[in-house]
C-alpha cells in the first residue's frame, strides 16, 4: 500500500513518552503530542503553559494529585512544533521513579504511550519533514563521530532531500519536453532533438550515480572501517592489535596458533571508527578448532574493508607468508613488516605496488602510521560531511534503481524508440526518487524506518 503524506493536519490521539535515556540523570524530559496535549499536560503540570514556546516552572502532579516533582514545562501550538501537532515538554528531575509517576499521570489524564519513533513519524506524516530528514534523525542519534553527526545534521536540515528533488525536477522538465513529442509520428523526430534530450537524461543519470556513489564513503561514517589482520602465526598480529589499542586484549604468546578465533576490537581514528579483527594465523592447521579458526580468518579477510597483512621482517618469507600475500593482493590491503627492531631481511619488491609500512609492534614504533595509512587509503579526511554523503543503504539502492530507468530512457530515445516508451521510464524514475523523500513510499518501508527509532523520538 502506498502512503501519501497528508500535509493537511488530521485529528490525532495524544501520545506521551520519556525522551531521555532510562537512567538516573540531572534532567528527564517527557514529550506529549496530539490534539489534547494542552489539556492533558495542564492536568499534570501546574505551571501556566498557555503562552506557546514559553518555559514556565511548576509542580508535577501524580495521578492522585500529589506533587511528585518541581520542574519546567513548555507548550508548542500546532503547527509550530516538531510533530506539527499541539505538543508539550515537561522537564523533570531525572529520576526514573519521578518520570514513571509523571508519565502514568499523563496516561491517567488521557494520553497513551507513544510507539517507537511515533513523534518523528507524526512529523513526517504532517509534512514537517521528508523521509530523508526523518532518517537523518536516527543517524544523528546514532552518530559516534563529529563528522557523522555533522553530515546527519545537514541531512536533517533537508540537504539530501534537496539533492533528490533537484534530480526529480530536472526529470520532470525533461518529461514535459517529451510529452511534446508523444503525438509526433516517431520518424518525424529529428535525431539532433533525440540526442539533445538523451544527453539531458544522461546528465540526470550521472547525478543519481554520483550521489549513490557517495555511499561507499558514507558507510564509513556510519559503520566505520573493518580491518582484518592476517598473517601466519607469530608474525605479531596480536601484538599489533594490542599496540594499536594500548591494551592486552589479544593473547600474545610465542606458541603458534594461540589466536584460534577472531578477536574484534574498535578504536577511533580521528573521525572514523576502525574495527580491528585479529584472525587466526594462516598455516596448515593440525586441529579442528584451528581449521575452523583459519576458515574464519579467510572469511574475515573477505568481509573486511581492508586487509592488513602482517609479516615478520626478521625472517625470510615462507609459503604461508606467500599465501598471506596472495590474499592481500586480491583485496584492498596494506602490508606491515613487523619486528623491525630485529632487523629486516625481507626484500620489499615482493610486495609490488601494495603499500608497505615497517613497524615494531613490540616497541610500539610505526604502529600509528598503520592507522594513518588506513585513513589515507579511505580518504577519510576528504569525505564531505555537508549532508550530500549518503549514509543509508536504502537511499543508495533506490538511487541506483532510478539511475537504471533514466539510462534506459536515454538509451531508448537516443536510439530511436517511441517517445512514449521513454516517458514511462522517466516517470518510473521520478516515482522511485520520491520513495527516498517519502512522497510516495510503501508503508512497509515507512514502518521499517520508524521501527528503528527509540521510544520518545
Dihedral (Cα; 41, 43, 49, 55), 10-degree rounding? -70
Choose between 156 and 336: whose C-beta lies nearer to ligand GDP: 336
Question: Which of 162, 169, 165, 161 minimizes the C-alpha distance to 132?
Answer: 161
Write down the least CB distance from residue 274 to ligand GDP, Å: 18
Question: Which of 220, 229, 264, 173 minimizes the C-alpha distance to 367?
Answer: 229
Q: The cell 555537508 sits on which residue?
A: 386
Choosing from 238, 271, 389, 392, the residue that interacts with ligand GDP (CB under 6 A) is 238
Choosing from 94, 236, 387, 414, the residue that interacts with ligand GDP (CB under 6 A) is 236
Write down the least CB distance from residue 240 to ligand GDP, Å: 7
237 forms part of the interface with ligand GDP (CB under 6 A): yes
Write down the least CB distance from residue 283 to ligand GDP, Å: 10
* HEC letters along 68-104: EEEEEEEEECCCCCCCCCCEEEEEEEECHHHHHHHHH
Question: Which of 35, 109, 137 minimizes the C-alpha distance to 77?
Answer: 35
337 forms part of the interface with ligand GDP (CB under 6 A): no
Q: How many residues bind ligand GDP (CB under 6 A)?
A: 20
Choosing from 28, 34, 231, 414, the residue that interacts with ligand GDP (CB under 6 A) is 231
CA 403 to the chain's CA centroid: 21
279 forms part of the interface with ligand GDP (CB under 6 A): no
Write down the least CB distance from residue 350 to ligand GDP, Å: 19
Write down the least CB distance from residue 308 to ligand GDP, Å: 11
Radius of gyration of the chain (CA): 29
Copy the grid coordinates of residue 238.
Answer: 596480536
253 forms part of the interface with ligand GDP (CB under 6 A): yes
Choose between 298 and 341: whose C-beta lies nearer to ligand GDP: 341
Contacts for 365 with CB less than 8 Å, ≥ 6 apart: 340, 341, 359
Task: Look at residue 227 and give its three-state secondary structure.
Answer: strand
The answer to whether 174 and 196 are in contact (CB under 8 A) is no
Write down the least CB distance from residue 325 to ligand GDP, Å: 15
x/- letters, 357..386, toward ligand GDP (CB under 6 A): ---xxx------------------------
Angstrom distance (rounded) from CA 258 to CA 129: 53
Stretch that binds ligand GDP, among 76-84, 174-182, 235-243, 426-434 (CB under 6 A): 235-243
- What's the DSSP call for residue 33? E
283 forms part of the interface with ligand GDP (CB under 6 A): no
Task: Look at residue 66 and give its three-state secondary structure.
Answer: coil
Write down the least CB distance from residue 133 to ligand GDP, Å: 46
Stretch that binds ligand GDP, among 172-180, 237-245, 300-308, 438-446 (CB under 6 A): 237-245
Write down the least CB distance from residue 285 to ligand GDP, Å: 13
Choosing from 73, 233, 387, 438, the residue that interacts with ligand GDP (CB under 6 A) is 233
Choosing from 92, 125, 156, 235, the residue that interacts with ligand GDP (CB under 6 A) is 235
Choose between 254 and 347: whose C-beta lies nearer to ligand GDP: 254
Strand partners, 113: 16
Choose between 32 and 282: whose C-beta lies nearer to ligand GDP: 282
Choose between 207 and 239: whose C-beta lies nearer to ligand GDP: 239
259 forms part of the interface with ligand GDP (CB under 6 A): yes
Cα distances from 457 to residues 31, 114, 136, 192, 235, in angstroms, run 9, 9, 12, 53, 49
Question: Which of 198, 210, 129, 127 minimizes the C-alpha distance to 167?
Answer: 210
Stretch that binds ligand GDP, among 27-35, 73-81, 209-217, 233-241 (CB under 6 A): 233-241
Q: What is the side-by-side order of every strand in the sheet holding 225-230?
A: 263-269, 272-278, 225-230, 306-312, 333-338, 356-358
Choose between 226 and 237: whose C-beta lies nearer to ligand GDP: 237
338 forms part of the interface with ligand GDP (CB under 6 A): yes
Stretch that binds ligand GDP, among 7-15, 227-235, 375-383, 401-409 (CB under 6 A): 227-235
339 forms part of the interface with ligand GDP (CB under 6 A): yes
Pairing of β 356-358 and β 15-18: unpaired
Task: Look at residue 16 and give its three-state secondary structure.
Answer: strand
Judged by the rule CB under 6 A, the positions of this chain that interact with ligand GDP are: 231, 233-239, 252-254, 259, 281, 338-339, 341-342, 360-362
Amino acid at each position: 500500500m502506498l502512503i501519501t503524506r497528508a500535509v493537511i493536519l488530521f485529528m490525532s490521539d495524544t501520545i506521551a513518552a520519556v525522551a531521555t535515556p532510562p537512567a538516573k540523570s540531572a534532567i528527564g524530559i517527557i514529550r506529549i503530542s496530539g490534539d489534547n496535549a494542552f489539556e492533558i499536560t495542564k492536568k499534570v503540570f501546574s505551571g501556566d503553559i498557555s503562552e506557546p514556546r514559553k518555559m514556565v516552572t511548576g509542580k508535577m502532579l501524580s495521578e492522585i494529585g500529589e506533587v511528585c516533582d518541581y520542574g519546567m514545562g513548555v507548550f508548542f501550538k500546532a503547527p509550530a512544533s516538531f510533530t506539527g501537532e499541539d505538543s508539550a515538554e515537561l522537564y523533570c528531575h531525572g529520576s526514573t521513579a519521578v518520570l514513571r509517576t509523571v508519565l502514568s499521570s499523563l496516561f491517567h489524564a488521557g494520553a497513551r504511550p507513544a510507539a517507537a519513533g511515533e513523534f518523528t513519524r507524526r512529523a513526517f506524516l504532517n509534512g514537517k519533514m521528508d523521509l530523508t530528514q526523518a532518517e537523518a534523525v536516527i543517524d544523528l542519534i546514532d552518530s559516534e563521530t563529529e563528522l557523522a553527526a555533522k553530515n546527519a545534521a545537514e541531512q536533517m536540515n533537508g540537504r539530501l532531500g534537496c539533492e533528490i528533488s533537484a534530480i526529480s525536477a530536472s526529470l520532470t522538465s525533461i518529461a514535459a519536453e517529451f510529452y511534446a513529442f508523444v503525438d509526433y509520428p516517431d520518424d518525424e523526430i529529428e535525431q539532433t532533438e533525440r540526442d539533445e534530450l538523451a544527453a539531458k537524461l544522461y546528465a540526470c543519470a550521472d547525478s543519481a550515480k554520483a550521489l549513490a556513489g557517495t555511499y561507499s564513503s558514507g558507510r564509513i561514517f556510519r559503520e566505520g572501517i573493518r580491518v582484518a589482520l592476517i598473517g601466519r602465526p607469530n608474525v605479531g598480529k596480536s601484538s599489533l592489535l594490542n599496540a594499536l589499542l594500548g591494551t592486552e586484549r589479544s593473547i600474545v604468546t610465542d606458541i603458534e596458533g594461540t589466536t584460534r578465533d577472531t578477536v574484534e576490537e574498535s578504536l577511533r581514528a580521528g573521525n572514523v571508527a576502525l574495527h580491528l579483527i585479529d584472525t587466526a594465523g594462516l598455516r596448515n592447521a593440525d586441529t579442528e578448532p584451528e581449521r575452523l579458526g583459519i576458515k574464519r580468518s579467510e572469511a574475515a579477510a573477505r568481509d573486511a574493508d581492508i586487509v592488513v597483512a602482517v609479516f615478520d621482517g626478521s625472517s625470510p618469507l615462507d609459503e604461508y607468508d606467500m599465501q598471506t600475500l596472495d590474499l592481500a593482493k586480491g583485496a584492498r590491503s596494506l602490508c606491515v613488516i613487523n619486528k623491525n627492531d630485529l632487523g629486516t631481511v625481507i626484500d620489499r619488491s615482493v610486495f609490488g605496488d601494495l603499500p608497505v609500512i615497517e613497524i615494531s609492534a613490540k616497541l610500539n614504533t610505526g604502529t600509528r602510521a598503520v592507522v594513518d595509512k588506513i585513513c589515507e587509503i579511505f580518504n577519510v579526511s576528504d569525505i564531505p560531511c555537508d549532508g550530500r554523503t549518503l549514509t543509508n543503504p536504502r537511499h543508495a539502492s533506490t538511487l541506483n534503481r532510478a539511475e537504471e530507468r533514466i539510462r534506459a530512457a536515454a538509451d531508448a530515445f537516443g536510439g530511436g524508440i517511441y517517445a512514449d516508451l521513454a516517458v514511462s521510464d522517466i516517470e518510473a524514475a521520478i516515482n522511485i526518487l520520491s520513495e527516498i523523500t517519502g512522497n510516495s513510499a510503501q508503508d512497509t518501508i515507512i514502518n521499517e524506518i520508524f521501527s528503528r527509532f527509540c521510544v520518545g523520538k
